Amino acid sequence: MNIWIAVAVTAVGCYAVKLIGLLVPAGVLERPLVRRLAALLPVALLAALTAQQTFADGTTLVLDAKAAGLAAAAVALILRAPFLVVVAAAVVVTAGLRAVTG
């Protein structure tokens, strides 16, 4: 049930912010500080989430095959690979390393 609450709150919240963007008159969200903050917030969140999902197991920090998978994704990004290839590289390298190291 708790998960359904999270699903519902996220769905309503995310739809609301999309709709607000289309409905508000330009200018309200166009203040330079607000715009800069909106551009930087996803950077902070995505960076923190990437790091946590790679190096965390619950509330402990770990270093496992996922780190190698993420490194592979980074290489794919530097080589300008398409989105799907980036994700596939991470998955394949992680699975391969786990298969080898057991």
Partner 1 sequence: MAEQTTSTAIRAGSARDGQAGRPGDGRPEKADSAVVRDALGVGVAVGLSGFAFGVTSAGSGLSVLQTCALSLLVFTGASQFALVGAIAAGGNPLTAAAGAFFLGVRNSFYGLRLSQLLALPRVVRPFAAHWVIDETTAVSLAQPTRRSARIGFTVTGLTLYVLWNLTTLLGALGAEAIGDTDAWGLDAAGPAVFLALLAPMLRTATERAVAGIAVILGLGLLPVLPAGVPVLVAALAAPAVLYAEGRRAARRATGKNPQEDPRKADGRQGEGR
11-70 binders of partner 1 (CB under 8 A) = 11, 13-15, 17-24, 26, 29-30, 32-33, 35-56, 58-61, 65-66, 69-70
Rg (CA), the chain: 19
Please report how close the Cβ of residue 94 comes to partner 1 at its closest, in angstroms. 3
Q: Does 102 bind partner 1 (CB under 8 A)?
A: no
Q: Does 4 bind partner 1 (CB under 8 A)?
A: yes
Hey, how many other C-beta atoms are within 10 angstroms of the C-beta on 70?
19
Token pair 């708790």 is found at 2
Phi/psi region, residue 9 (left: phi>0; alpha: psi -120 to 50; beta: rest), is alpha
Please report how close the Cβ of residue 60 comes to partner 1 at its closest, in angstroms. 6
Q: Does 84 bind partner 1 (CB under 8 A)?
A: yes
Please report how close the Cβ of residue 67 comes to partner 1 at its closest, in angstroms. 9
Residue 31 near residue 51, CB atoms below 8 Å: no
